[in-house]
Structure 1
Amino acid sequence: MESEILYFEERIRWETRTGGDSGHIAIATYYNPIISYSYLGSTFIYKPKVTASLKIPDFNTDVEIFIQPENPKNAKHKYSNATT
C-alpha cells in the first residue's frame, strides 16, 4: 500500500480563560498531515484526528496507514519518525 503526505492543515489549540478581554488565548499551533493512500487500485484521503498533530510540518515524516481490508476508508495511522 502506497501513501504520501499531500499537505498540512494548520490547527491552533485554544484555552478558555475567565475574565480578560477575549476569554480565549492561543496555546500552540499544530499541523495535521493530510495523507493520500492507495489500496487495490483505489485512492483514499486520510485526515487524522486532532490528536495526530505535529509540532512542525515535515513532509519527511514517515506515516504508516492501517486499514480494514473490508472497509479501506476506515484508516488509522502511526508515525515512525515524527516530532510530535
Structure 2
Amino acid sequence: LAVVMMRDIPTAFLPPEDQGYLLGAVIMPDAASLDRTGQVSDCVSEYFMKQPAVGSITTVDGFSILDSQNKNNSSTFFVGFKSF
C-alpha cells in the first residue's frame, strides 16, 4: 500500500496549481468610509511587505472579491511571493 501511495501522491512539496500569490480581503463595518478602508489596507500592505518571502502587494480599495461588488467598506489585496 505504501508503494502505491508513493506513486500516486505528488512528490513536490507545492502543488502545480500554486501560482505564487495570495488573495485576501479586508472587510470593514458597513458604515466605514473608503478613506478608513484605505488606511486599513495600508496597514495590511506594510505588514506583508515586512515579510521576507513577499515580493509585491497590490490593493484594490472599494472592491469586494468575496461577492464581486464595489463597496466602500471592502478592499481586496494580492500578495506576490518571491520565486522559491
Give your verdict on TM over 0.5. Answer: no
TM-score (norm 1): 0.24
Q: Which has the larger radius of gyration?
A: 2
TM-score (norm 2): 0.24
- More RCO (CA 8 Å, sep 6+): 2
